Amino acid sequence: MANINQYEKYMNLSLPKPITRNLENQIKWRWKTFWFLLTIFVVGAIANIPHSKAVKELSAKTIELENYSTLQSIISNGITALIVGSIFIWIGLWISAKAGLGAPLISEKLSGKPFSKVFDKNIVVISLFSGIILGALILGLLKIQEFILPIGTAKANHPSAIPSLFASFSAGITEEIIFRLGIMSLLITIIQFLVKLKTASNRIIWIGNILTALSFGLVHIPMSHNYFDQTPIVIGTIILGNVITGTTFGWIFWRYGLIMAMLVHFISDVVLHVIGSPFG
């Protein structure tokens, strides 16, 4: 972990300082934060419908398309999102409160502070650039891999730009609430409990971040079956790519908050799936 500490010292010289988390304020505005996050979680889940339909069309799953109208999809996704979102937001804001992560910027804004006082311009800019660089990095690594260790011919084309844009928006919201606010915060809280620490150390946060990123990678394996056969090369590629991105999202979440993690996730997905379309 010495190398990590040295890396952190170097990064502190060139990046904006981490946000200050007012835990009392987060507790005070916890219910408002809950309803705000649940609202955007439901919106994010519904926003993924065009992409899901496009994937089914490209995969020739016409029977599934015929069985669900757009209204039925909205109702189904909305109800599922209400249940899933409530669970993970509750975990992040209540069960894992001792991790000290939560959604501080949202709480600050909901407390009535002006936008300019809550969101640091430098942090927003660095988050935008982080998303662009991260998406470009993964695209570059995929291109290099094609020369060294090809993963095979895709079974279907990637959906077009518009459905992929909706999917990027959806993933940026829903996956960050599930994995960073929910799972990462919970893992850190559990580790804190096991080692009997009131405040999570950098080491504990990195362990929680990496474990969350691994789960993030594993969850994405079934999603790839629409494009490729589940070979060891494909599985390894999916896990490695999502561990790289997931760890970055977790680091942003820890340093700059949930909203910035959502922004980095969205931008990197736009670069990777809308501009790059690696499966197209």
pLDDT, one tens digit per residue, over 184-238 is: 999 999 999 999 999 999 999 999 999 999 999 999 998 877 777 788 888 898 9
Is pLDDT above 50 for 86?
Answer: yes
Question: How sure is the predictor about 261, in pLDDT bands with cuts at 50, 70 and 90?
Answer: very high
**Percent residues over pLDDT 70 in the chain:** 89
Domain ranges of the chain: 21-276
State which H helix or E strand residue 93 sits in: none
Mean pLDDT of 127-147: 92
Q: Tell me what the mean pLDDT of segment 1-14 comes to.
A: 54
Q: Specify the pLDDT at position 280.
A: 45
Looking at per-residue pLDDT, the higher value among 28 and 2 belongs to: 28
Global pTM value: 0.90
Q: What would the DSSP string read from start to end of 53-74? A: HHHHHHTT-HHHHHH--HHHHH
Residue 14 burial (CB count, 10 A): 7
**Amino acid in the structure at residue 239:** I
- Burial of residue 238 (CB within 10 Å: 0-12, 13-18, 19+) is buried
User: What mean pLDDT comes out for the span 126-143?
Assistant: 94
pLDDT tens, position by position, 20-50: 999 899 999 999 999 999 999 999 999 999 9
Mean pLDDT in the chain? 89
Q: How many CB atoms lie within 10 A of CB 63?
A: 8
Q: Taking 60 as the threshold, does the pLDDT of residue 122 lie above it?
A: yes
Tell me the per-residue pLDDT of 91-120, one tens digit each, with 9 for 90 and over: 999 999 999 999 999 999 999 999 989 999
Is 277 in contact with 154 (CB distance < 8 Å)?
Answer: no
Residue 230 phi/psi, 5° resolution? -80, 70
